[in-house]
Chain A
Amino acid sequence: MTPEDLLYDETHEWVRLENEAGQKMATVGITDFAVEQLTDLVYLDLPEVGSQVTAGEEFGEVESVKAVSPLYSPVTGEVVAVHSELCDNPKTLSQDPYGEGWLIKVRVTDETSLSRLLDAAAYQKQREGEA
Protein backbone atom coordinates (compact mmCIF):
# COMPACT_ATOMS: atom_id res chain seq x y z
CA MET A 1 0.00 0.00 0.00
CA THR A 2 1.48 3.31 -1.12
CA PRO A 3 -0.96 6.22 -0.68
CA GLU A 4 -0.90 8.58 -3.66
CA ASP A 5 -1.16 11.80 -1.66
CA LEU A 6 2.11 11.35 0.26
CA LEU A 7 5.78 11.89 -0.47
CA TYR A 8 8.40 9.30 0.44
CA ASP A 9 12.05 8.99 1.37
CA GLU A 10 14.30 6.18 0.15
CA THR A 11 14.73 5.11 3.78
CA HIS A 12 10.98 4.27 3.99
CA GLU A 13 9.61 7.33 5.75
CA TRP A 14 6.52 9.09 4.44
CA VAL A 15 5.62 12.81 4.55
CA ARG A 16 2.22 14.48 4.42
CA LEU A 17 2.65 18.14 3.52
CA GLU A 18 0.08 20.74 4.52
CA ASN A 19 0.02 24.49 4.40
CA GLU A 20 -0.65 26.19 7.69
CA ALA A 21 -0.65 29.99 7.89
CA GLY A 22 1.69 30.22 4.92
CA GLN A 23 4.11 27.66 6.33
CA LYS A 24 4.71 24.10 5.22
CA MET A 25 3.92 21.55 7.92
CA ALA A 26 5.12 17.99 7.44
CA THR A 27 3.63 14.96 9.19
CA VAL A 28 6.20 12.14 9.21
CA GLY A 29 5.75 8.40 9.60
CA ILE A 30 7.18 5.13 8.32
CA THR A 31 5.64 3.08 5.52
CA ASP A 32 3.81 -0.24 5.80
CA PHE A 33 6.77 -1.77 3.96
CA ALA A 34 9.13 -0.58 6.73
CA VAL A 35 6.74 -1.86 9.39
CA GLU A 36 6.61 -5.29 7.76
CA GLN A 37 10.40 -5.48 7.47
CA LEU A 38 10.89 -4.53 11.11
CA THR A 39 8.51 -7.28 12.38
CA ASP A 40 7.20 -7.00 15.97
CA LEU A 41 7.72 -3.44 17.16
CA VAL A 42 8.32 -2.96 20.87
CA TYR A 43 9.51 0.58 21.38
CA LEU A 44 10.04 3.96 19.78
CA ASP A 45 12.47 6.69 20.73
CA LEU A 46 11.25 10.04 19.38
CA PRO A 47 12.70 13.56 19.67
CA GLU A 48 11.34 16.33 21.88
CA VAL A 49 9.06 19.12 20.71
CA GLY A 50 11.23 22.09 19.77
CA SER A 51 14.20 20.08 18.56
CA GLN A 52 15.66 20.47 15.08
CA VAL A 53 15.66 17.74 12.47
CA THR A 54 17.64 17.62 9.24
CA ALA A 55 16.72 15.87 6.00
CA GLY A 56 18.61 12.59 5.72
CA GLU A 57 19.73 12.62 9.36
CA GLU A 58 18.54 10.50 12.24
CA PHE A 59 15.73 11.80 14.46
CA GLY A 60 14.89 8.72 16.49
CA GLU A 61 14.90 4.97 16.71
CA VAL A 62 12.44 2.18 16.30
CA GLU A 63 13.01 -1.03 18.20
CA SER A 64 11.71 -4.43 17.20
CA VAL A 65 12.26 -7.73 18.98
CA LYS A 66 15.38 -8.34 16.92
CA ALA A 67 16.92 -4.98 16.10
CA VAL A 68 17.08 -1.26 16.71
CA SER A 69 16.78 0.79 13.53
CA PRO A 70 17.35 4.50 13.04
CA LEU A 71 14.56 6.78 11.84
CA TYR A 72 15.76 9.30 9.26
CA SER A 73 14.06 12.64 8.84
CA PRO A 74 12.75 13.25 5.32
CA VAL A 75 12.64 17.03 5.89
CA THR A 76 14.56 19.83 7.57
CA GLY A 77 12.78 21.85 10.23
CA GLU A 78 11.56 22.17 13.79
CA VAL A 79 9.58 19.46 15.58
CA VAL A 80 6.21 20.94 16.61
CA ALA A 81 4.42 17.75 17.72
CA VAL A 82 5.47 14.30 18.82
CA HIS A 83 3.16 11.29 18.90
CA SER A 84 4.54 10.20 22.26
CA GLU A 85 1.62 7.84 23.12
CA LEU A 86 3.01 5.66 20.37
CA CYS A 87 6.20 4.99 22.34
CA ASP A 88 4.33 2.80 24.80
CA ASN A 89 1.97 1.37 22.24
CA PRO A 90 3.87 0.72 19.02
CA LYS A 91 1.16 -1.72 17.83
CA THR A 92 -0.80 1.29 16.60
CA LEU A 93 2.07 1.95 14.24
CA SER A 94 1.88 -1.58 12.83
CA GLN A 95 -1.90 -1.38 12.42
CA ASP A 96 -2.22 2.06 10.87
CA PRO A 97 1.18 3.32 9.66
CA TYR A 98 -0.26 6.09 7.47
CA GLY A 99 -2.88 7.33 9.94
CA GLU A 100 -2.78 6.88 13.72
CA GLY A 101 0.80 5.68 13.41
CA TRP A 102 2.27 9.10 12.58
CA LEU A 103 5.50 9.90 14.44
CA ILE A 104 6.25 13.63 14.40
CA LYS A 105 5.06 16.89 12.88
CA VAL A 106 7.69 19.26 11.57
CA ARG A 107 7.52 22.93 10.59
CA VAL A 108 9.63 22.87 7.45
CA THR A 109 12.32 25.55 7.56
CA ASP A 110 14.19 24.57 4.41
CA GLU A 111 11.89 23.81 1.48
CA THR A 112 14.78 22.81 -0.75
CA SER A 113 15.01 19.70 1.44
CA LEU A 114 11.70 18.56 -0.09
CA SER A 115 12.99 18.22 -3.64
CA ARG A 116 14.84 14.98 -2.84
CA LEU A 117 11.63 13.16 -1.85
CA LEU A 118 9.95 10.54 -4.06
CA ASP A 119 6.32 10.48 -5.22
CA ALA A 120 4.19 7.38 -4.68
CA ALA A 121 4.99 5.84 -8.06
CA ALA A 122 8.77 6.24 -7.64
CA TYR A 123 8.67 4.87 -4.09
CA GLN A 124 6.48 1.94 -5.16
CA LYS A 125 9.08 1.08 -7.77
CA GLN A 126 11.87 1.25 -5.20
CA ARG A 127 10.12 -1.02 -2.69
CA GLU A 128 9.34 -3.57 -5.36
CA GLY A 129 13.05 -3.65 -6.07
CA GLU A 130 13.84 -4.27 -2.40
CA ALA A 131 11.09 -6.77 -1.63
Chain B
Amino acid sequence: MYLYDSPAETAAMLESIGAASIEELFRAIPSELRLDRTLDIPGPLGELELTRHVAGLAGRNLDANRAICFLGAGSYDHFVPSVVDMVASRSEFYTSYTPYQPEVSQGNLQVMFEYQTLICDLTGMDVSNASLYEGGSATIEAILMAMSATRRHGKVVMLRSVHPEYRQIARTYLRPHDVELVELGWAVDGRADLQQAAERIDESTACLVIQHPNFFGALEPVRELVDAAHGAGALVVHVFDPISLGILRRPGDVGADIAVAEGQSLGTPMLYGGPYLGILACRETFLRRLPGRIAGQTVDRRGKRCWVLTLQTREQHIRREKATSNICTNQGLFALRAAVYLALMGPHGLREAARQCLFKARAALESLAGDATLSRRFDAPFFKEFAVRDGTGDVAGRLERAKAEGVLAGVPLGTWYPELEDSFLVAVTEKRTADDIDAWSNALRGSS
Protein backbone atom coordinates (compact mmCIF):
# COMPACT_ATOMS: atom_id res chain seq x y z
CA MET B 1 0.00 0.00 0.00
CA TYR B 2 1.22 3.46 -0.85
CA LEU B 3 0.70 6.08 1.87
CA TYR B 4 0.83 9.64 0.70
CA ASP B 5 2.28 12.41 2.94
CA SER B 6 0.55 15.77 2.69
CA PRO B 7 2.76 18.91 2.74
CA ALA B 8 1.43 19.61 6.24
CA GLU B 9 2.49 16.12 7.44
CA THR B 10 5.92 16.51 5.85
CA ALA B 11 6.38 19.87 7.59
CA ALA B 12 5.29 18.41 10.93
CA MET B 13 7.75 15.52 10.63
CA LEU B 14 10.62 17.83 9.64
CA GLU B 15 9.86 20.08 12.60
CA SER B 16 9.74 17.13 14.94
CA ILE B 17 13.25 15.95 13.96
CA GLY B 18 14.61 19.50 13.71
CA ALA B 19 15.40 19.54 9.99
CA ALA B 20 14.72 22.53 7.73
CA SER B 21 14.01 20.55 4.57
CA ILE B 22 14.02 17.03 3.13
CA GLU B 23 17.00 18.11 1.06
CA GLU B 24 18.95 18.64 4.28
CA LEU B 25 18.50 14.96 5.19
CA PHE B 26 20.41 13.87 2.05
CA ARG B 27 23.27 16.36 2.42
CA ALA B 28 25.69 13.59 3.45
CA ILE B 29 25.48 12.05 -0.04
CA PRO B 30 28.00 13.69 -2.43
CA SER B 31 26.26 15.66 -5.18
CA GLU B 32 27.98 13.71 -7.98
CA LEU B 33 26.30 10.53 -6.76
CA ARG B 34 22.85 12.06 -6.78
CA LEU B 35 20.28 12.24 -9.55
CA ASP B 36 19.82 15.93 -10.31
CA ARG B 37 16.34 15.60 -11.76
CA THR B 38 13.03 14.06 -10.78
CA LEU B 39 12.35 10.44 -11.78
CA ASP B 40 10.87 9.94 -15.23
CA ILE B 41 7.62 8.28 -14.20
CA PRO B 42 4.48 8.43 -16.32
CA GLY B 43 1.42 10.15 -14.91
CA PRO B 44 -1.26 8.45 -12.82
CA LEU B 45 -3.73 5.92 -14.24
CA GLY B 46 -7.19 4.97 -13.12
CA GLU B 47 -7.69 1.47 -11.71
CA LEU B 48 -9.16 0.05 -14.91
CA GLU B 49 -6.41 1.55 -17.10
CA LEU B 50 -3.74 0.36 -14.68
CA THR B 51 -5.16 -3.18 -14.61
CA ARG B 52 -5.15 -3.27 -18.43
CA HIS B 53 -1.63 -1.90 -18.59
CA VAL B 54 -0.22 -4.44 -16.13
CA ALA B 55 -2.16 -7.32 -17.70
CA GLY B 56 -0.67 -6.29 -21.06
CA LEU B 57 2.84 -6.38 -19.61
CA ALA B 58 2.18 -9.75 -17.93
CA GLY B 59 0.81 -11.08 -21.22
CA ARG B 60 4.23 -10.64 -22.79
CA ASN B 61 5.56 -13.41 -20.54
CA LEU B 62 5.44 -16.84 -22.10
CA ASP B 63 4.60 -19.19 -19.25
CA ALA B 64 4.27 -22.96 -19.03
CA ASN B 65 0.47 -22.76 -19.12
CA ARG B 66 0.48 -21.14 -22.57
CA ALA B 67 3.63 -22.52 -24.16
CA ILE B 68 4.50 -26.20 -24.48
CA CYS B 69 7.27 -26.53 -21.94
CA PHE B 70 10.29 -28.82 -22.30
CA LEU B 71 12.46 -26.70 -20.01
CA GLY B 72 14.16 -28.23 -17.00
CA ALA B 73 17.71 -27.78 -15.69
CA GLY B 74 16.56 -27.64 -12.08
CA SER B 75 13.01 -26.29 -12.39
CA TYR B 76 10.30 -28.55 -13.78
CA ASP B 77 6.78 -28.32 -15.13
CA HIS B 78 5.25 -31.15 -13.11
CA PHE B 79 1.55 -31.47 -12.41
CA VAL B 80 0.31 -29.58 -9.34
CA PRO B 81 -3.00 -31.09 -8.15
CA SER B 82 -5.51 -28.41 -7.13
CA VAL B 83 -5.71 -29.85 -3.62
CA VAL B 84 -2.24 -28.36 -3.03
CA ASP B 85 -3.44 -24.81 -3.71
CA MET B 86 -6.64 -25.45 -1.83
CA VAL B 87 -4.80 -26.38 1.37
CA ALA B 88 -1.89 -23.94 0.99
CA SER B 89 -4.19 -20.99 0.36
CA ARG B 90 -6.00 -21.41 3.68
CA SER B 91 -5.26 -18.23 5.61
CA GLU B 92 -4.40 -20.26 8.76
CA PHE B 93 -1.29 -21.32 6.81
CA TYR B 94 -0.38 -18.53 4.46
CA THR B 95 -0.67 -15.68 6.96
CA SER B 96 1.31 -17.46 9.67
CA TYR B 97 4.11 -19.27 7.97
CA THR B 98 6.81 -17.94 10.30
CA PRO B 99 5.89 -18.92 13.85
CA TYR B 100 7.86 -16.64 16.14
CA GLN B 101 6.27 -18.27 19.16
CA PRO B 102 6.44 -21.75 17.74
CA GLU B 103 4.57 -23.68 20.42
CA VAL B 104 1.52 -21.49 19.88
CA SER B 105 1.42 -22.58 16.23
CA GLN B 106 0.62 -26.25 16.67
CA GLY B 107 -0.80 -26.49 13.15
CA ASN B 108 2.41 -25.23 11.58
CA LEU B 109 4.54 -27.51 13.73
CA GLN B 110 2.40 -30.48 12.77
CA VAL B 111 2.93 -29.63 9.09
CA MET B 112 6.70 -29.45 9.63
CA PHE B 113 6.67 -32.77 11.45
CA GLU B 114 4.62 -34.44 8.72
CA TYR B 115 6.79 -32.89 6.01
CA GLN B 116 9.92 -34.27 7.76
CA THR B 117 8.31 -37.70 8.08
CA LEU B 118 7.39 -37.74 4.38
CA ILE B 119 10.88 -36.61 3.35
CA CYS B 120 12.45 -39.37 5.48
CA ASP B 121 10.18 -41.93 3.78
CA LEU B 122 10.97 -40.47 0.37
CA THR B 123 14.76 -40.43 0.84
CA GLY B 124 15.30 -43.42 3.10
CA MET B 125 17.14 -41.15 5.51
CA ASP B 126 16.75 -41.06 9.31
CA VAL B 127 16.15 -37.35 9.83
CA SER B 128 15.05 -34.33 7.83
CA ASN B 129 14.91 -30.70 8.82
CA ALA B 130 11.78 -28.63 8.25
CA SER B 131 13.26 -27.41 4.91
CA LEU B 132 15.64 -24.75 3.62
CA TYR B 133 15.25 -22.10 0.92
CA GLU B 134 16.11 -24.00 -2.25
CA GLY B 135 18.25 -26.79 -3.69
CA GLY B 136 21.46 -24.78 -4.08
CA SER B 137 21.64 -23.56 -0.51
CA ALA B 138 20.64 -27.04 0.74
CA THR B 139 23.65 -28.42 -1.17
CA ILE B 140 26.16 -26.05 0.43
CA GLU B 141 24.64 -26.59 3.88
CA ALA B 142 25.22 -30.32 3.36
CA ILE B 143 28.84 -29.65 2.37
CA LEU B 144 29.40 -27.55 5.51
CA MET B 145 27.82 -30.34 7.60
CA ALA B 146 30.22 -32.85 6.04
CA MET B 147 33.24 -30.65 6.76
CA SER B 148 32.17 -30.27 10.36
CA ALA B 149 31.29 -33.96 10.85
CA THR B 150 34.50 -35.32 9.32
CA ARG B 151 36.63 -32.48 10.74
CA ARG B 152 38.23 -32.46 7.29
CA HIS B 153 38.91 -29.10 5.74
CA GLY B 154 41.28 -30.08 2.97
CA LYS B 155 39.04 -30.80 -0.01
CA VAL B 156 35.47 -30.88 -1.19
CA VAL B 157 35.08 -32.93 -4.37
CA MET B 158 32.15 -32.15 -6.68
CA LEU B 159 31.22 -33.61 -10.01
CA ARG B 160 30.87 -30.99 -12.75
CA SER B 161 27.62 -32.69 -13.66
CA VAL B 162 26.10 -31.24 -10.47
CA HIS B 163 23.85 -28.24 -11.22
CA PRO B 164 26.23 -25.41 -12.28
CA GLU B 165 24.44 -22.88 -10.08
CA TYR B 166 24.71 -25.14 -7.03
CA ARG B 167 28.44 -25.36 -7.72
CA GLN B 168 28.61 -21.60 -8.04
CA ILE B 169 26.86 -21.20 -4.67
CA ALA B 170 29.33 -23.68 -3.15
CA ARG B 171 32.27 -21.66 -4.51
CA THR B 172 30.86 -18.48 -2.99
CA TYR B 173 30.24 -20.03 0.42
CA LEU B 174 33.58 -21.83 0.53
CA ARG B 175 35.66 -18.78 -0.39
CA PRO B 176 36.35 -17.75 3.23
CA HIS B 177 37.02 -21.39 4.21
CA ASP B 178 40.51 -22.68 3.67
CA VAL B 179 39.32 -25.63 1.60
CA GLU B 180 40.02 -26.72 -1.97
CA LEU B 181 36.94 -27.22 -4.13
CA VAL B 182 37.83 -29.88 -6.69
CA GLU B 183 35.53 -30.32 -9.69
CA LEU B 184 35.62 -33.55 -11.68
CA GLY B 185 34.58 -33.77 -15.32
CA TRP B 186 32.41 -36.47 -16.85
CA ALA B 187 33.29 -39.49 -18.95
CA VAL B 188 32.33 -39.70 -22.64
CA ASP B 189 28.83 -41.02 -21.87
CA GLY B 190 27.98 -38.11 -19.53
CA ARG B 191 28.42 -40.05 -16.30
CA ALA B 192 31.08 -39.72 -13.64
CA ASP B 193 34.60 -40.81 -14.47
CA LEU B 194 35.11 -43.40 -11.73
CA GLN B 195 38.85 -43.68 -12.10
CA GLN B 196 39.29 -39.94 -11.79
CA ALA B 197 36.99 -39.90 -8.76
CA ALA B 198 38.97 -42.65 -7.04
CA GLU B 199 42.20 -40.77 -7.69
CA ARG B 200 41.07 -37.38 -6.45
CA ILE B 201 39.18 -38.38 -3.29
CA ASP B 202 41.69 -38.76 -0.47
CA GLU B 203 42.13 -38.68 3.31
CA SER B 204 41.68 -34.90 3.38
CA THR B 205 38.35 -34.98 1.50
CA ALA B 206 35.29 -34.04 3.54
CA CYS B 207 32.76 -35.16 0.97
CA LEU B 208 31.95 -36.11 -2.58
CA VAL B 209 28.98 -34.23 -4.04
CA ILE B 210 27.05 -36.05 -6.73
CA GLN B 211 23.78 -35.33 -8.50
CA HIS B 212 21.76 -38.36 -9.57
CA PRO B 213 20.18 -38.15 -12.08
CA ASN B 214 22.85 -35.60 -12.96
CA PHE B 215 22.40 -32.17 -14.54
CA PHE B 216 22.30 -33.81 -18.00
CA GLY B 217 19.65 -36.27 -16.80
CA ALA B 218 22.10 -39.20 -16.78
CA LEU B 219 22.01 -41.89 -14.11
CA GLU B 220 25.29 -41.95 -12.20
CA PRO B 221 27.06 -45.13 -11.01
CA VAL B 222 26.04 -44.17 -7.48
CA ARG B 223 27.18 -47.25 -5.59
CA GLU B 224 30.67 -47.13 -7.08
CA LEU B 225 30.92 -43.42 -6.26
CA VAL B 226 29.72 -44.04 -2.71
CA ASP B 227 32.32 -46.80 -2.30
CA ALA B 228 35.09 -44.54 -3.60
CA ALA B 229 34.16 -41.80 -1.13
CA HIS B 230 33.59 -44.04 1.86
CA GLY B 231 36.81 -45.91 1.13
CA ALA B 232 38.68 -42.67 1.82
CA GLY B 233 36.54 -41.82 4.85
CA ALA B 234 34.69 -39.06 2.97
CA LEU B 235 30.93 -38.56 3.14
CA VAL B 236 28.57 -38.55 0.16
CA VAL B 237 26.23 -35.63 -0.48
CA HIS B 238 23.57 -36.84 -2.91
CA VAL B 239 21.59 -34.23 -4.85
CA PHE B 240 18.43 -36.05 -5.95
CA ASP B 241 15.32 -35.39 -8.02
CA PRO B 242 12.30 -35.99 -5.74
CA ILE B 243 10.08 -37.25 -8.59
CA SER B 244 12.76 -39.73 -9.72
CA LEU B 245 12.40 -41.54 -6.39
CA GLY B 246 9.13 -42.96 -7.70
CA ILE B 247 11.32 -45.44 -9.59
CA LEU B 248 14.96 -44.99 -8.53
CA ARG B 249 16.55 -46.30 -5.35
CA ARG B 250 16.45 -43.83 -2.48
CA PRO B 251 19.60 -41.95 -1.41
CA GLY B 252 19.48 -43.78 1.93
CA ASP B 253 19.38 -47.15 0.14
CA VAL B 254 22.42 -46.44 -2.02
CA GLY B 255 24.60 -45.37 0.88
CA ALA B 256 24.45 -41.57 0.69
CA ASP B 257 25.11 -39.77 3.98
CA ILE B 258 23.30 -36.53 3.29
CA ALA B 259 20.52 -36.14 0.70
CA VAL B 260 19.54 -32.75 -0.69
CA ALA B 261 17.17 -31.60 -3.39
CA GLU B 262 15.28 -28.82 -5.00
CA GLY B 263 11.74 -29.50 -3.84
CA GLN B 264 9.93 -27.35 -6.43
CA SER B 265 8.79 -30.48 -8.28
CA LEU B 266 6.69 -31.42 -5.25
CA GLY B 267 3.58 -29.32 -5.69
CA THR B 268 4.99 -25.94 -6.70
CA PRO B 269 4.80 -24.40 -10.20
CA MET B 270 7.95 -23.05 -11.87
CA LEU B 271 7.15 -19.47 -10.74
CA TYR B 272 9.83 -17.92 -12.99
CA GLY B 273 12.55 -19.33 -10.71
CA GLY B 274 11.32 -19.07 -7.11
CA PRO B 275 10.61 -19.05 -4.25
CA TYR B 276 11.42 -22.74 -4.06
CA LEU B 277 12.08 -25.40 -1.44
CA GLY B 278 15.36 -26.81 -0.13
CA ILE B 279 15.21 -30.43 1.03
CA LEU B 280 17.91 -31.70 3.40
CA ALA B 281 17.88 -35.10 5.12
CA CYS B 282 20.67 -37.18 6.63
CA ARG B 283 21.65 -40.19 8.67
CA GLU B 284 21.05 -39.94 12.40
CA THR B 285 24.81 -39.71 13.07
CA PHE B 286 24.73 -36.15 11.70
CA LEU B 287 21.57 -35.03 13.49
CA ARG B 288 23.42 -32.53 15.68
CA ARG B 289 24.89 -30.86 12.62
CA LEU B 290 21.66 -30.58 10.67
CA PRO B 291 20.96 -26.86 10.05
CA GLY B 292 17.61 -25.14 10.38
CA ARG B 293 14.44 -26.02 12.20
CA ILE B 294 13.39 -29.48 13.31
CA ALA B 295 9.90 -30.16 14.67
CA GLY B 296 9.48 -33.04 17.10
CA GLN B 297 6.44 -34.85 18.40
CA THR B 298 5.79 -35.19 22.12
CA VAL B 299 2.93 -35.04 24.64
CA ASP B 300 1.72 -32.09 26.70
CA ARG B 301 1.15 -32.25 30.46
CA ARG B 302 -2.27 -33.76 29.92
CA GLY B 303 -0.74 -36.52 27.82
CA LYS B 304 -2.10 -35.20 24.51
CA ARG B 305 -0.03 -35.42 21.35
CA CYS B 306 1.64 -32.12 20.46
CA TRP B 307 4.64 -30.73 18.57
CA VAL B 308 7.66 -28.62 19.52
CA LEU B 309 10.73 -27.23 17.82
CA THR B 310 13.50 -29.48 19.06
CA LEU B 311 17.30 -29.69 19.18
CA GLN B 312 17.48 -25.92 19.00
CA THR B 313 20.90 -25.83 20.60
CA ARG B 314 22.23 -26.52 17.09
CA GLU B 315 20.95 -23.22 15.93
CA GLN B 316 22.60 -19.91 15.45
CA HIS B 317 20.57 -18.06 18.05
CA ILE B 318 21.92 -20.38 20.74
CA ARG B 319 25.30 -21.48 19.40
CA ARG B 320 26.09 -17.96 18.28
CA GLU B 321 29.44 -17.75 16.51
CA LYS B 322 30.00 -21.50 16.84
CA ALA B 323 26.98 -22.38 14.72
CA THR B 324 27.82 -24.20 11.49
CA SER B 325 24.91 -22.54 9.70
CA ASN B 326 23.20 -19.16 9.82
CA ILE B 327 19.82 -20.64 8.95
CA CYS B 328 17.21 -20.55 11.72
CA THR B 329 14.03 -20.73 9.71
CA ASN B 330 12.39 -22.80 7.01
CA GLN B 331 10.40 -22.41 3.81
CA GLY B 332 7.09 -23.09 5.54
CA LEU B 333 4.55 -22.59 2.76
CA PHE B 334 6.50 -24.61 0.22
CA ALA B 335 7.20 -27.38 2.71
CA LEU B 336 3.44 -27.46 3.26
CA ARG B 337 2.85 -27.75 -0.50
CA ALA B 338 5.38 -30.60 -0.69
CA ALA B 339 3.75 -32.37 2.24
CA VAL B 340 0.28 -32.07 0.70
CA TYR B 341 1.60 -33.21 -2.69
CA LEU B 342 3.38 -36.25 -1.27
CA ALA B 343 0.46 -37.21 0.96
CA LEU B 344 -1.91 -36.96 -2.00
CA MET B 345 0.28 -38.80 -4.52
CA GLY B 346 1.45 -41.55 -2.17
CA PRO B 347 3.99 -44.16 -3.30
CA HIS B 348 1.78 -45.30 -6.20
CA GLY B 349 1.07 -41.81 -7.50
CA LEU B 350 4.72 -40.85 -7.34
CA ARG B 351 5.68 -44.05 -9.13
CA GLU B 352 3.15 -43.32 -11.86
CA ALA B 353 4.42 -39.74 -12.30
CA ALA B 354 8.01 -41.01 -12.50
CA ARG B 355 7.12 -43.76 -14.99
CA GLN B 356 5.35 -41.30 -17.24
CA CYS B 357 8.36 -38.97 -17.17
CA LEU B 358 10.61 -41.89 -18.05
CA PHE B 359 8.52 -43.18 -20.96
CA LYS B 360 7.64 -39.79 -22.39
CA ALA B 361 11.25 -38.65 -22.29
CA ARG B 362 12.14 -41.72 -24.38
CA ALA B 363 9.28 -41.03 -26.78
CA ALA B 364 10.50 -37.47 -27.20
CA LEU B 365 14.05 -38.58 -27.91
CA GLU B 366 12.83 -41.19 -30.42
CA SER B 367 10.74 -38.57 -32.21
CA LEU B 368 13.97 -36.89 -33.28
CA ALA B 369 15.20 -40.03 -35.05
CA GLY B 370 16.02 -39.51 -38.69
CA ASP B 371 16.94 -35.85 -38.30
CA ALA B 372 20.56 -35.64 -39.35
CA THR B 373 21.18 -32.38 -37.50
CA LEU B 374 19.87 -33.45 -34.09
CA SER B 375 21.44 -36.24 -32.05
CA ARG B 376 21.73 -37.42 -28.49
CA ARG B 377 24.69 -35.75 -26.74
CA PHE B 378 25.40 -38.46 -24.12
CA ASP B 379 24.75 -42.21 -24.26
CA ALA B 380 24.23 -42.83 -20.53
CA PRO B 381 20.82 -44.09 -19.33
CA PHE B 382 18.62 -41.18 -18.31
CA PHE B 383 15.47 -40.42 -16.36
CA LYS B 384 13.38 -37.46 -17.58
CA GLU B 385 16.05 -35.22 -19.04
CA PHE B 386 18.54 -35.60 -21.88
CA ALA B 387 20.95 -33.43 -23.85
CA VAL B 388 20.61 -32.95 -27.62
CA ARG B 389 23.45 -31.90 -29.91
CA ASP B 390 22.60 -29.53 -32.71
CA GLY B 391 24.75 -30.40 -35.72
CA THR B 392 24.22 -26.94 -37.21
CA GLY B 393 25.69 -25.40 -34.06
CA ASP B 394 22.96 -22.76 -34.00
CA VAL B 395 21.30 -23.76 -30.72
CA ALA B 396 20.09 -20.24 -29.91
CA GLY B 397 18.49 -19.76 -33.33
CA ARG B 398 16.75 -23.12 -33.29
CA LEU B 399 15.32 -22.64 -29.79
CA GLU B 400 14.23 -19.10 -30.68
CA ARG B 401 12.35 -20.30 -33.76
CA ALA B 402 10.66 -23.06 -31.74
CA LYS B 403 9.60 -20.47 -29.18
CA ALA B 404 7.98 -18.45 -31.96
CA GLU B 405 5.83 -21.55 -32.57
CA GLY B 406 4.84 -21.70 -28.90
CA VAL B 407 7.31 -24.40 -27.85
CA LEU B 408 9.89 -23.86 -25.12
CA ALA B 409 12.07 -26.60 -26.59
CA GLY B 410 15.06 -26.72 -24.29
CA VAL B 411 17.75 -24.94 -22.29
CA PRO B 412 21.04 -24.08 -24.05
CA LEU B 413 23.92 -25.82 -22.23
CA GLY B 414 26.48 -23.26 -23.45
CA THR B 415 25.12 -20.97 -20.72
CA TRP B 416 27.17 -22.96 -18.21
CA TYR B 417 29.45 -25.26 -20.22
CA PRO B 418 31.47 -23.67 -23.05
CA GLU B 419 32.30 -27.17 -24.36
CA LEU B 420 28.59 -27.90 -24.76
CA GLU B 421 27.84 -24.76 -26.79
CA ASP B 422 26.33 -26.98 -29.52
CA SER B 423 23.89 -28.73 -27.16
CA PHE B 424 20.68 -28.10 -25.27
CA LEU B 425 18.95 -29.81 -22.40
CA VAL B 426 15.41 -31.19 -22.70
CA ALA B 427 13.11 -32.14 -19.81
CA VAL B 428 9.96 -34.20 -20.33
CA THR B 429 7.47 -34.40 -17.46
CA GLU B 430 4.31 -36.44 -16.99
CA LYS B 431 2.32 -33.39 -18.16
CA ARG B 432 3.52 -33.67 -21.75
CA THR B 433 1.07 -35.32 -24.14
CA ALA B 434 1.72 -37.13 -27.41
CA ASP B 435 0.55 -33.95 -29.18
CA ASP B 436 3.01 -31.86 -27.15
CA ILE B 437 5.84 -34.17 -28.15
CA ASP B 438 4.83 -33.97 -31.83
CA ALA B 439 4.65 -30.18 -31.64
CA TRP B 440 8.08 -30.08 -29.98
CA SER B 441 9.63 -32.43 -32.49
CA ASN B 442 8.12 -30.53 -35.45
CA ALA B 443 9.17 -27.16 -34.04
CA LEU B 444 12.76 -28.36 -33.66
CA ARG B 445 12.89 -30.11 -37.04
CA GLY B 446 10.90 -27.56 -38.99
CA SER B 447 13.34 -24.91 -38.09
CA SER B 448 16.46 -26.88 -39.01
Contacts and interface: CB of A to CB of B under 8 A. Distances in A.
Contacts, number: 20
Contacts of B288: 43, 45, 63
Interface stretch (A9-17, A65-73, A99-107, A119-127): A65-73
Contacts of A65: 313
Given A43-B288, A45-B288, A70 B322 contact: yes
Contacts of B318: 66-68
- Give the dominant DSSP class at A's interface: strand
Contact of B322 (A42, A64, A68): A68
Interface string A45-72: 1001000000000000101111110100
Given A43-B288, A45-B288, A63 B313 contact: yes
A64 B312 CA distance: 10
Nearest to A47: B151
A45 B319 CA distance: 14
Interface residues of B, number: 7
Contacts of B314: 68
Interface residues of A, number: 12
Nearest to A63: B313
Contacts of A66: 313, 318
Given A43-B288, A45-B288, A67 B313 contact: yes
Contact of B319 (A42, A43, A68): A68
A48, A64, A68, A70 — which one has the most chain B CB atoms within 10 A of its CB? A68
Contacts of B322: 61, 68, 70
Nearest to A43: B288
B237 to A, nearest CB: 21
Interface string B279-292: 00000000010000
A42 B288 CA distance: 11
A42 B313 CA distance: 10
Contacts of B319: 68
Nearest to B323: A68
B271 to A, nearest CB: 37
B335 to A, nearest CB: 26
Interface in B316-367: 318-319, 322
A61 B324 CA distance: 13
B288, B313, B314, B319 — which one has the most chain A CB atoms within 10 A of its CB? B313
Which A-B residue pairs are the 4 nearest by beta carbons?
A68-B313, A63-B313, A68-B319, A67-B318
Interface of B: 151, 288, 313-314, 318-319, 322
Given A43-B313, A68-B313, A68-B314, 10 more contacts: A45-B288, A48-B151, A61-B322, A63-B288, A63-B313, A65-B313, A66-B313, A66-B318, A67-B318, A68-B318
